[in-house]
Amino acid sequence: MDIAHILSLLGGLALFLYGMQMMSAGLEAAAGNRMKNILSKLTSNRFLGVTVGAGITALIQSSSATTVMTVGFVNSGMMTLQQAVWIIMGANIGTTVTGLLIALDVGLLAPLFAFLGVALVVFFKKPKFHNYGQIIAGLGILFIGMDMMSAAMNPLRESEMFINLMTTFSNPIVGILVGMIFTAIIQSSSASVGILQTLAMSGLIGLPSAVYVLFGQNIGTCITAVLASIGTSRSAKRTTIIHLMFNIIGTTIFTLLCLTTPFTTFVESLAPDNPSMQIASMHIIFNITTTVLLLPFGTHLARLATKILPELPTEDASVQKLSHIKSVDTIKEHGVGNIAVVCNDVKLELERMAEMVRSNVRQSFDAVLMGNSGNLKSVLEMEEYIDYLNKEISKYLSHYISYGAENSMRIASFFKITGNLERISDHAVNICEYTKLLETKKISFSDMAKQEIKEMQTISVSAMDSILKLDAASVELLTNIAALEQRMDDMTGQFRANQIERMQKGVCSGEACIIYSEMLTDFERIGDHILNIAEALAYMDEE
């Protein structure tokens, strides 16, 4: 094998991996948000979970990507560990699609796919067509890379050293380790299985040796999720443990099966003249069979992962959870007699939510004053938590609202409070997101504008402080908050007038004025929602 063949092999590998990445990026851009919505709204139904996991992975051609996304959802509290089990099982089935496409020799149409994809990118302006073009072109480039690798490896058929190396894979441990390490390096089981199929099509490795490499590749694909779990909650780390356990259990079962029975010969007989299809068939059988075998034990896998990585008293506070009320899905009994207790628990949960909203308001103004988006990540994460609490508290209140007239005003007030708290946080996020424009367009506010922003922050935080304890409002409290809200309205009017004066003097740029005007609107809305909360507290006192 000379230098030309080595360069051709490297070039083919580069095209293969780039095509895979291009196709994945196009699919995520075309359907990413819908994909996330499907995952985040997933119920605990195991069959639905497996189906969704398989479908999404078949689309993005990467079980690693699906698992990493699942780790993220578990980390944010949008998905439970048990729900994650089904997604992971489905992801292992969906990842077999690439191998099947390769085995069916779709590569014959590779140049056509590449041409059509590039044409969509070059000749159409809409982003939607660009995304579709990326998907189609990526598929074509992937198969062109496969053909290049296959041609480059043909001379290896005559290499005694390489043939000896390939035959050592009949040792299960060596084959599993090679497959595991190689897949961990390139971080894609779809890609490593495709390369294994290329070796098989070139006659360099037979199925009896390839099966162990294949099993190792299924373990190696877990490395991406392991890396993604670094710095996440313990619950998210347990998701990667489940992913590892699934593939290790499957590898153990199938290694013993291949060593003790003529199972490999049976799979060879399914496609006797197509080594690539033999590997694809084994890959499909491995993942579907392992899923079917472990599906009834999914909850046990979640429990085992929790035992391997037990909960600590200091469990990450960023995990979205309810502290004072229960999720409606877990409530089995409820009676009229405990409505007063329910209302007190909701009040405590709302006070916790109000503290988070206050933090977002303060951080957002800080970010604008600093002129950078350093706070944006934490503000957005807190906003997701607040949205979660708003949804769960509203569901909880809906569950109890039918229990007579007693405390009905209190429950109605709580509905109004949670909605307004969530809206205040939305406006805080709007303010914080303006920092992206400040950074990218190198916009800065004048000293006078910064002083006004500081005043906005002070009064907004002060108004939030007034309602942190969500007890029934006294007339004095309502009067004070109404006065604060009126002052915020007056400040908004005065600051707009000041802004116009600065524009006339040429002190304020046009882009800075637009951002500042939007910020004033958000500031005014924050005051409106705080007054709404105070009025809800006063209404609660009438009961």
Percent share of the chain, pLDDT over 70:
76
Alpha helices for 371-443 (secondary structure H): 376-400, 408-440
Give the mean pLDDT of the chain: 79
Q: What is the pLDDT of residue 337?
A: 47
| Confidence check: pLDDT of 5 > 60 | yes
Query: pLDDT tens digits for 218-242?
Result: 888 777 677 667 666 677 788 888 8
Q: What is the mean pLDDT of residues 199-209?
A: 78
Tokens of 342: 């329910």
| Confidence check: pLDDT of 43 > 50 | no
Nearest one of 58, 55, 141, 64 to 98, comparing CA atoms: 58
Query: pLDDT tens digits for 471-527?
Result: 766 777 888 899 999 999 999 999 999 988 888 887 777 788 889 999 999 999 999
Nearest one of 122, 136, 145 to 23, comparing CA atoms: 136
- Residue scoring higher pLDDT (442 or 404): 442
User: What is the value of pTM for the model shown?
Assistant: 0.50
C-alpha dihedral, 465 to 471 to 475 to 479, nearest 10° = 20
Q: What is the pLDDT of residue 252?
A: 92
Percent share of the chain, pLDDT over 90:
20
Query: pLDDT tens digits for 422-459?
Result: 999 999 999 999 998 888 888 888 889 999 999 999 99
Tally of CA atoms within 13 A in the half-sphere of 486 that contains its CB: 6
Domain with CATH 1.20.58.220 in the chain: 337-541
Cα distances from 127 to residues 19, 21, 121, 138, 499, in angstroms, run: 19, 18, 9, 16, 37
Residue 228 burial (CB < 10 Å; 0-12/13-18/19+)? buried
337-541 fold? Methane Monooxygenase Hydroxylase; Chain G, domain 1 (1.20.58)
Range in 32-36, 202-206, 372-376 the model is least confident about: 32-36
Query: pLDDT tens digits for 261-270?
Result: 999 889 888 8
Query: pLDDT tens digits for 99-122?
Result: 666 666 555 677 888 888 889 888
